[in-house]
């Protein structure tokens, strides 16, 4: 049976699906998506989670960072992705300053959920816990995001690997536990040492998705443009151009999914000590 037919027969992936995969030690894959055509391609090839990321500011809008992306931008692209997705879990970013207060987060999360998101993602540690609790209490599933947080790039002084010192590693683990306790059902951890990501993944009961966080997280996510090697700017160390070794885009995505599932990606050269 072809992957396309398999996709049509698969049930919609939920957080419960990912929880079961974590418990069984099965790795799952995630890609960013911004339109219907690529969303369908990714869905047909078995990608488990599609993220409408504020990375669209960089790869779609050509901006230097993600700060110019609006809720309306994310909602538009979420509609495009959801209409073409049969089984993958659809997660949408709450962009910069769209969740400064719990009330604001609820209003903007409602916009994204009505556009087709099944979960919203927000960046931050302990300071967003009240917001996470408020969203979950109002039936909005939340994916938290810690480590390197692109919306805080100017505060962090650039795109730097996090968790290098013992103090910073302990902070990241503390933040991970805090957002889980607040009700987050997924966690993205970005650009941290492999050792820190492993400790976080083992400490949490919720699935952990890594990007630049080594091979020990429950899932892996890449920006689709990086995975195809077509980003206009710098391709990060933690990414890989899967199109180089593939005949076409479908084969590249299939290779990404299988390499994640079988533990071949990320390799040592894509991870941080």
Q: Is 216 annotated in some ligand binding site?
A: no
Q: What is the pLDDT of residues 236-254, one digit of tens each?
A: 888 999 999 899 999 999 9
Domain ranges of the chain: 12-270
Query: For 78-174, where are the E strands, in sequence order?
Result: 89-93, 119-123, 142-147
Q: Is 55 annotated in some ligand binding site?
A: yes
CA distance 78 to 105: 17
Smallest Cα–Cα separation from 208: which of 238, 168, 181, 176? Answer: 176
* pLDDT score, position 268: 86
Smallest Cα–Cα separation from 47: which of 187, 213, 208, 224? Answer: 224
Element (H, E) at 156: helix 153-156
Q: What is the pLDDT of residues 183-220, one digit of tens each?
A: 999 999 999 999 999 999 999 999 999 999 999 999 99
Write down the residue that tokens 């700060």 correspond to.
Answer: 67
* pLDDT score, position 1: 47
Model pTM score = 0.93
Show the tokens assigned to 118.
């099944």
What pLDDT band is residue 88 in, cutting at 50, 70 and 90?
very high
Q: For 12-270, which CATH class?
A: alpha beta
Q: What average pLDDT does the segment 10-34 reach? A: 96
Q: Where does residue 208 rank: exposed (0-12), middle (13-18), buried (19+ CB within 10 A)?
A: buried
Catalytic residue ranges: 190
What pLDDT band is residue 271 in, cutting at 50, 70 and 90?
confident
Residue with the bigger pLDDT between 144 and 235: it is 144
Say what percent of the chain tops pLDDT 70: 92
Question: Per-residue pLDDT for 60 more than 60?
Answer: yes
């Amino acid at each position: 049976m072809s992957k396309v037919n398999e996709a049509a027969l698969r049930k919609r992936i939920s957080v419960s699906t990912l929880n079961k995969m974590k418990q069984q030690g099965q790795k799952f894959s995630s890609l960013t998506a911004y339109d219907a055509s690529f969303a369908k391609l990714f869905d047909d090839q078995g990608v488990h989670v599609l993220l409408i990321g504020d990375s669209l500011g960089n790869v779609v809008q050509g901006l230097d960072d993600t700060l110019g992306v609006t809720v309306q931008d994310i909602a538009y692209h979420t509609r495009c992705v959801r209409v073409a997705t049969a089984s993958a879990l659809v997660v949408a970013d709450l962009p910069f300053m769209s969740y400064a207060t719990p009330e604001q987060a609820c209003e903007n999360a409602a916009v994204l959920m009505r556009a087709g998101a099944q979960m919203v993602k927000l960046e931050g540690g302990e300071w967003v816990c009240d917001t996470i609790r408020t969203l979950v209490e109002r039936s909005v599933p939340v994916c938290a995001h810690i480590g390197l947080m692109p919306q805080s790039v100017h505060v962090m002084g650039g795109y730097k690997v996090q968790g290098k010192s013992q103090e910073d590693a302990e902070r990241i683990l503390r933040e991970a536990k805090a957002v889980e306790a607040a009700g987050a059902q997924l966690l993205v951890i970005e650009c941290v040492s492999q050792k820190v990501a492993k400790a976080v993944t083992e400490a949490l009961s919720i699935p952990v998705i890594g990007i630049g966080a080594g091979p020990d997280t429950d899932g892996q996510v890449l920006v689709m443009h990086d995975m195809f090697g077509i980003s206009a700017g710098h391709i990060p160390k933690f990414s890989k151009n899967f199109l180089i070794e593939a005949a076409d885009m479908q084969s590249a995505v299939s290779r990404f999914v299988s390499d994640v599932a079988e533990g071949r990606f990320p390799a040592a050269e894509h991870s941080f000590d």
